[in-house]
Structure 1
Amino acid sequence: MGNWEPMTSPIDWDYLATLSGGDREFELELLQTFVEDAQERLGALVKAVNEGNVDQIKRDAHHLKGASGNVGIRTMQAVAAQLEDSTTPETLGQAKALTEELQRLLNTVVSEVSA
């Protein structure tokens, strides 16, 4: 495994390599599938945050937590877990900030996958 990946990568490439048996093409396929799903889920999450729909926020955050964990995107998994666990009608401002952080992390993943 080369060390060319930037240290700031949200992707745990070692975990992915273990998962894929070192098949880089398969890793990129897994990430591409994740990205497509996550983009759709994040769109729904933004809508739920704007509508103040706490139940939907928790559902979408739970989905993103599992999906990002499955492909070794630990930072995103942690942020989604925080969003799922801490969102209440009183913490919608924080939910908005966490959702923006998820979007930023996803954009970083997209950049790496398409690089």
Structure 2
Amino acid sequence: TGFGPLDVLGIAAWLVGFAFETIADAQLARFTADPATKGRVLDRGLWRYSRHPNYFGDACLWWGLFLIAAQHWIGLLTVLSPVLMTVLLARGTGKPLLEKHLTSSRPGYRDYIERTSGFVPLPPKRG
């Protein structure tokens, strides 16, 4: 049967997601391992464009798998996984809880919220 257009889109979304999650996690690990950055806000690399690029990457992984599965009618049922994961990451237990903690523990985080997209990577707002 070969690859269909949804397979290609799904693989592309999965690869983008994998890259975002891997790079963002590596950048965060380097940042948190450096004692000079204690109490500061990571706003470089992918973190300049999204406050949660690793969560965005994770969501892309799930949506990519859905697109591949959706090639067949029964695969449409798998939409529940990416919807649930995206909602949890962006509105549920992921982003909101972490941001509540970071806002109270890092003085520059409120400014970071004002200039940086919360989930989808976008150019920073000028301030």
Tell me, yes or no, whether TM beats 0.5: no
Larger radius of gyration: 2
Q: If each structure's helix is expressed as a fraction of its own residues, which one has the higher value?
A: 1
Q: With the length of structure 1 as denominator, give the TM-score of the two structures.
A: 0.40
Q: With the length of structure 2 as denominator, give the TM-score of the two structures.
A: 0.37
